[in-house]
Amino acid sequence: MMGEFNKQLAEQLAGVSAIEQAGQAGTALISLWPLTDATQLDNDAKYGENLQVRITRVMARVMTGLDVTIPDAEFVYEGADEIPGRPQEIVDALLAANDACDTMAGYSRSCDFAQVRAAVQYCDAGWSEQETDAAEQVVESAIAAVCPRNGEIEASAEPTVVAQRLAISMETVYQMAQALDLQEGSERKALPVLLLANELNERLEIPRYYVGNDQLSELLRLAQGSDGLQEAALAMAPSIQSEWEQHKVDVLWDPDEAQRKAKEEDERKSREALMAKFAHIPEDPNKPPVEL
């Protein structure tokens, strides 16, 4: 089924409460930029690495049908080409998933659909030439509809703008799903779309997000309904909001402050334990008060 981007649908979707709330979370995150603090820059880099680990884990689970763990995905992300005691099938799938992620990097600026085609090959996603052409047409029409002639979109920390851009991204992905005839059971075929979704977000100057395995299956099921776009968007919006809120927390994390709070918490627990230990001993009424 041929999908086609419809800007009016995206504009309607942007007014839905759940999308507006996600937009507010995105605004709070975007407002931190440009990052200048070294710790925050490092935190954001770590977030990006962890996001790829999580995404490649999802992809490898779909490719193999096996229980791929976060440590599996971390080892391969860090350069391992085998993991003692773990099936090589998992390692090979994670290697392919990372290759797909790497080959998609920069698509947000290049808009070269050859990168998507390469990711399809790495995922062995099974897109036909006709489906690939249809998906490309959807993405090109979306970019043409929302991007100015110079191809650049200015970053914005306005909640309504962020909600609108999230809705555009969602609607483009939905129409791609229609072009590819994605449905429940088509998880492998959908993997390149997951990567493309985040590249679209980059293009639209909004943050990336994460889709888990169960969520992917549910989204593919919902996309087949009579109101598939809105149902899928409503199902996805809370997790996007949560992801963006956590991204902000991760960026602002201060190791020194965390250590101080941990020390205070340990001291509090020690005091409470000591008080509980001697709670059965009655106080001496003749004991003089102690000035603090």
**Residue 110's domain is classified under what CATH number?**
1.10.3290
pLDDT in tens, 24-51: 999 999 999 999 999 999 999 999 999 9
- Residue 42: per-residue pLDDT: 97
Predicted confidence band of residue 8 (pLDDT cuts 50, 70, 90): confident
Q: Tens of pLDDT along 137-186?
A: 999 999 888 886 667 789 999 999 999 999 999 999 999 999 999 999 99
* Domain contains 193: yes
Q: Is residue 104 situated within a structural domain?
A: yes
Strand (E) or helix (H) holding 160: helix 159-179
Q: What is the pLDDT of residues 225-252, one digit of tens each?
A: 778 999 999 999 999 999 999 999 999 9
Give the pLDDT band of residue 292 (cuts 50, 70, 90): very low
Is residue 163 a part of any domain in this protein?
yes
Distance CA 253, CA 249 (A): 6
**pTM for the complete prediction?**
0.87
Please classify residue 16 by burial: count the beta carbons closer than 10 Å to its beta carbon, then call 0-12 exposed, 13-18 middle and 19+ buried: middle
Nearest residue to 4 via CA among 141, 117, 99, 130 = 141
Domain membership of residue 286 (yes or no) is no
- What is the pLDDT, as a whole number, of residue 114? 97
What is the pLDDT at residue 3?
A: 61
Residue 292 lies in a domain: no
Contact 209, 200 (CB under 8 A): no
What is the pLDDT confidence band of residue 14, given thresholds at 50, 70 and 90? very high
Contact 1, 186 (CB under 8 A): no
Long-range CB contacts for residues 28-36, cutoff 8 Å, separation at least 24: 28/244, 28/245, 28/248, 29/207, 29/244, 29/245, 29/247, 29/248, 29/251, 30/155, 30/156, 30/157, 30/162, 30/205, 30/206, 30/207, 31/157, 32/248, 32/251, 32/252, 33/155, 35/251
Q: Which domain holds residue 48?
A: 7-277
What is the average pLDDT score of the chain? 91
| pLDDT above 90 (res 266) | no
The single residue listed with the structure tokens 């909600």 is: 163
In the chain, the number of structural domains is 1
The percent of residues above 90 in pLDDT, for the chain, comes to 77
At residue 263, the pLDDT reads 73
pLDDT bucket at 279, cuts 50 / 70 / 90: confident
Q: Which residues of 181-197 are buried (b: 16+ CB within 10 A; e: fewer)?
A: ebeeebbebbbbbbbbb
- pLDDT reported for residue 170: 96
Question: Is residue 255 assigned to a domain?
Answer: yes
Residues 203 and 138: their CA atoms lie apart, in Å, by 15
Q: What is the 3-state secondary structure (H, E, C) of 2-55?
A: CCCCCHHHHHHHHCCHHHHHHHHHHHHHHCCCCCCCHHHHHHHHHHHHHHHHHH
| Residue 12, Cβ density class (10 Å: 0-12 exposed, 13-18 middle, ≥19 buried) | middle
| Contact of 54 with 44, CB cutoff 8 Å | no
Structural domain contains residue 192:
yes
Residue 2 domain flag: no
pLDDT score at 287: 66
The closest of 57, 5, 2, 19 to 163, measured between CA atoms, is: 19
More reliable by pLDDT, 278 or 117: 117
Q: Which residues contact 126 (CB under 8 A, 6 or more apart)?
A: 188, 189
Q: How high is the pLDDT of residue 149?
A: 64
pLDDT 10s digits, 66-117 = 999 999 999 999 999 999 999 999 999 999 999 999 999 999 999 999 999 9
